[in-house]
Structure 1
Amino acid sequence: MGRQGEDDPFAPVRKPPEHVLGQPLDDLSIEELKLRIEALKAEISRLEDAQRAKSASQASAAAFFKPAS
């Protein structure tokens, strides 16, 4: 018996994850390493943007709910 979905031509195709933290890198080519670095840098930028947005939202809420002096 094959892996799940191998027998079903209509099953969604599952792509392996692009990168798993801590995975061995020995079998990757220089180009594959370069592509993964670019993807991870883009993801870091996306995470930093989300962090900034949440911080701004939190600061805005804190200012709104600040007790009157």
Structure 2
Amino acid sequence: MAVIDDEPRKKLATHEIGQDIALLSVGELIERIAVLRGEISRLEAELKAKDTTKSAAEALFRR
């Protein structure tokens, strides 16, 4: 009897912090660096947005 899985499968992580990278090819390492740089940019953008919101709130309550 086959089981039908209606839930979408989670995409496997491209990189996991701390994982063994010794067996990765040069191409795989370059790809992971690009993914991580993109994630860093995304995190920095969110940090900037939160800082802007915090600054606006602080200015509002200083009045």
Task: Tell me which interval the TM-score lies in, with the shorter structure as reference length.
Answer: 0.7 to 0.9
Q: TM-score, normalised by structure 1?
A: 0.76
Confirm whether residue 31 of structure 1 aligns to residue 3 of structure 2.
no
Structure number with higher helix proportion: 2
Q: Percent identity?
A: 38
Confirm whether residue 22 of structure 1 aligns to residue 21 of structure 2.
no
Query: Aligned-pair RMSD on alpha carbons?
Result: 1.6
Q: How many residues align?
A: 61
Structure 1: gaps (5+ residues): 1-6
Higher RCO structure, 1 or 2 (CA under 8 Å, sep 6+):
2
Bigger radius of gyration? 1
